Homo-oligomer: A and B are copies of this chain.
């Protein structure tokens, strides 16, 4: 059984972290983070499918594929280091090199992550000064992990860390994560920045497909604004410090670890969606009884991505026609005359549409449901046994404000 514990990336054994103020963009807030493992880690990850890839994404992708081990991650916010050409690539490499020098590691053991404005080059003097601070302050404490979670935030309103524990062959194995999201969130491979650390003993060959499988139903099923970022990065680092018997495919331990990884990823993905820029509510769309998994995914993502549906939820308006409309242009085939749509929150469930036709529900009750912080939309396609869940948020004035003056 997987259980939730407190903490984040420093919860698993052998991981240290830090978060400091490097003054890259914001004043008086943490904007650089370090994750460090006292042991070499095997790494697996997925990265943005946007063909405009930020320099740190290119660097990390290469390392995850080719480097024999990973032992640290340096992250900055404020500047995305995307749209920066060869100069940006040099910044990413110099960042890794500086951290490697101070940590006594090969440069190829240091991942980098950046998030913020596309275009400007990183201020390398501040980045280097920041790295020195990070290396000095790194610690294995919960506080250090929390500092790192806070330091990777941009327009996020709260840090997102999470940790779970399970038993593998009688040995306690821990997984801990930090993530940031908020805007430019419509992941397609993985999400903005999310790092999971674990002390599990597991090989790269076993971990890599597990990671790719896990993002499909988690990070790839959320959307804030339909914009797939240039910097999406999801990395899992495993340092083996737990000393469990190695997790091998086809075993029940493998299934247990997979479930734990899914649990942490689902939690973080939902946290990213619910804290989308300007969001006042987390919106979950469950598509059930679809003919195929692929169609269920298309339908669920189309509903949570619809600007009109999102604005209606912000207005607490049970405008189910917009949900039906969004399913209609999703690309999935279905019979509009044969489905049902419910909304649900706080234990209250209301049937809005049956066989494609509006029902005689209480607008008052519907408004009550849509005023909650977590709202579920359930679409029963009545075609088969496939299902999918996607998460998003409402569209508020605040989203427009945040993105209307993001750079100023």
Question: Interface code A56-86, partner B: CB below 8 Å = 1, 0 otherwise?
Answer: 0000000000000000000000001011110
Q: Is the CB of B307 within 8 A of A225?
A: yes
**Complex CA distance for A319 and B363, rounded to whole angstroms:** 41
Closest chain B residue to A325, Cβ basis: B230
A114 within 8 A of B: no
Q: Is the CB of B83 within 8 A of A353?
A: yes
Q: Is the CB of B227 within 8 A of A307?
A: yes
CB interface residues, A 72-103, toward B, < 8 Å: 80, 82-85, 87
**Complex CA distance for A372 and B51, rounded to whole angstroms:** 31
Question: Interface code A304-332, partner B: CB below 8 Å = 1, 0 otherwise?
Answer: 01111001101101011110111111000
A389 within 8 A of B: no
Copies of the polypeptide in the assembly:
2
Q: Known: A52-B325, A83-B321. Contact between A226 and B307, CB under 8 A? A: yes
A283 within 8 A of B: no
**Complex CA distance for A232 and B333, rounded to whole angstroms:** 18
Number of interface residues of A (CB under 8 A): 66
Q: Chain A's interface: helix, strand, loop or mixed, by majority?
A: loop
Q: Is the CB of B229 within 8 A of A52?
A: no
Q: Is the CB of A324 within 8 A of B83?
A: yes
**Complex CA distance for A311 and B408, rounded to whole angstroms:** 13
**Complex CA distance for A53 and B315, rounded to whole angstroms:** 25
CB interface residues, A 370-408, toward B, < 8 Å: 395-397, 399-408
Q: Give the residues in chain B near A408, CB-CB below 8 Å.
A: 315, 317
Chain A residues within 8 Å of B, Cβ to Cβ: 49-53, 80, 82-85, 87, 117-120, 183-184, 186, 188, 225-230, 305-308, 311-312, 314-315, 317, 319-322, 324-329, 333-334, 336-337, 353, 355-358, 395-397, 399-408
With A49-B329, A119-B320, A227-B326 known, 7 other A-B pairs at CB within 8 A are A50-B329, A51-B329, A120-B358, A186-B329, A225-B307, A311-B403, A397-B401
Provide 15 A-B residue pairs closer than 8 Å at the C-beta atoms, listed in order of the A residue: A51-B328, A84-B357, A118-B321, A118-B322, A119-B353, A226-B306, A228-B325, A228-B329, A307-B307, A312-B403, A315-B403, A315-B406, A317-B406, A319-B407, A397-B400
